[in-house]
Amino acid sequence: MTQKRIRLGAHMSTSRGYEKVPMDSTKIGGNTFQIFPHSPSMWRARLPDEELALKFKSEMSKARITREDALVHSGYLINLASPKDDVREKSIDLLALEMKIVSALGLKCLTFHPGSHLGTGLDNGIERIVRGLEIVFSRNEDNDVLLLLENVAAKGGNIGSRFEELREIIDLCTYRDRLYVTYDTCHGFDSGYDLSSRENVQKLIDGFGGVLGLERLLMIHVNDSKYPLGAGKDRHARIGEGYIGKEGFKHFLSNDFVQGIPWLLETPGGDAEHAEDITIIKNILGLNGAIL
């Protein structure tokens, strides 16, 4: 079997400036990255000025990172499914602005959590998400940014822990050709998707393909889980230090289809820990010391 070109990186801080991120990613042994488009716990965001955007794009090409391989993660306050009008309106405004930031940076993929219905029921929540997405996309018809629905842990009224829920959102949205999916291994494990054998990994992939179509999967968040299968806790662990473990990741990351999708770490810690996790993943795959 020929080894695919692995695309692997981590969530990176933008505190030194967007333009530092591409080279910082290569310094930790990665060849792609994820960033926030603004402080993730604030409602405030602004477009980068033109000079910064140009510098960022030139650093991207210097680091040989393509726009399709990098990911932007939406702010945590956004909840398109909220029953509260003010929260929903602010969520629509911020998500629409985030798409414009992604476009200004020359990037393509923005991942977000579908939202929580906060006890008002799945159907109502999905209906509000879809209504919100229609507005968000209608404000972004002049760019080609894609929105990626992320599978989440089943807790607190969260929508999108099961593939069927993501499918329903995509089916109901008229902009469905701009809706894709990020698969998070910790959130999936939290929701009962097991990686403990080759067969279970194949079952997961077949399940995804059957419900969503494999072409919808654009990104993978590679995180171990601090809690056992099906716990619904959403607590990420370092690679090999959680219940998925090195064995689980060996089965998952050796899969041919999985190797064709960019992998992004959201494990605890900063650049130093992510550099170690990248090395651990390379070792799991027998790519000891290889430069990606």
Q: Is 11 in the site for Zn ion (CB under 5 A)?
A: no
- Identify the residue among 221, 226, 238, 282 touching Zn ion (CB under 5 A): 221
- Applying CB under 5 A, the span of 57-65, 76-84, 221-229, 244-252 interacting with Zn ion comes to 221-229
Shortest spacing between CB 151 and Zn ion, in angstroms: 8
* Residues in binding contact with Zn ion, number by CB under 5 A: 4
Closer CB to Zn ion, residue 65 or residue 71? 71
**Site residues (CB under 5 A) for Zn ion, limited to 254-273:** 266
- Applying CB under 5 A, the span of 118-126, 169-177, 218-226, 243-251 interacting with Zn ion comes to 218-226
From the CB of residue 208, how many other CB atoms can be counted at a distance below 10 Å? 21
Closer CB to Zn ion, residue 53 or residue 111? 111
Contact 9, 25 (CB under 8 A): yes
Closer CB to Zn ion, residue 53 or residue 166? 166
Residues, the chain: 292
- Applying CB under 5 A, the span of 16-24, 153-161, 179-187, 252-260 interacting with Zn ion comes to 179-187
Query: How far lies 170's CA from each of 6, 15, 95, 163, 176, in Å?
Result: 28, 34, 17, 11, 5
Shortest spacing between CB 2 and Zn ion, in angstroms: 29
- Locate 93 and state its tokens: 């405004």
- Identify the residue among 24, 165, 168, 184 touching Zn ion (CB under 5 A): 184
**Site residues (CB under 5 A) for Zn ion, limited to 146-175:** 150
- Locate 111 and state its tokens: 């991942």
Shortest spacing between CB 272 and Zn ion, in angstroms: 20
- Applying CB under 5 A, the span of 43-51, 58-66, 130-138, 142-150 interacting with Zn ion comes to 142-150
Shortest spacing between CB 154 and Zn ion, in angstroms: 14
C-alpha span between 235 and 245 (Å, rounded): 14
Closer CB to Zn ion, residue 59 or residue 234? 234
- Applying CB under 5 A, the span of 100-108, 176-184, 250-258, 271-279 interacting with Zn ion comes to 176-184
Shortest spacing between CB 184 and Zn ion, in angstroms: 4
Shortest spacing between CB 221 and Zn ion, in angstroms: 4
Q: Is 277 in the site for Zn ion (CB under 5 A)?
A: no
Closer CB to Zn ion, residue 19 or residue 262? 262
C-alpha span between 60 and 105 (Å, rounded): 10
- Locate 113 and state its tokens: 């959590």
Return residues touching Zn ion (CB under 5 A). 150, 184, 221, 266
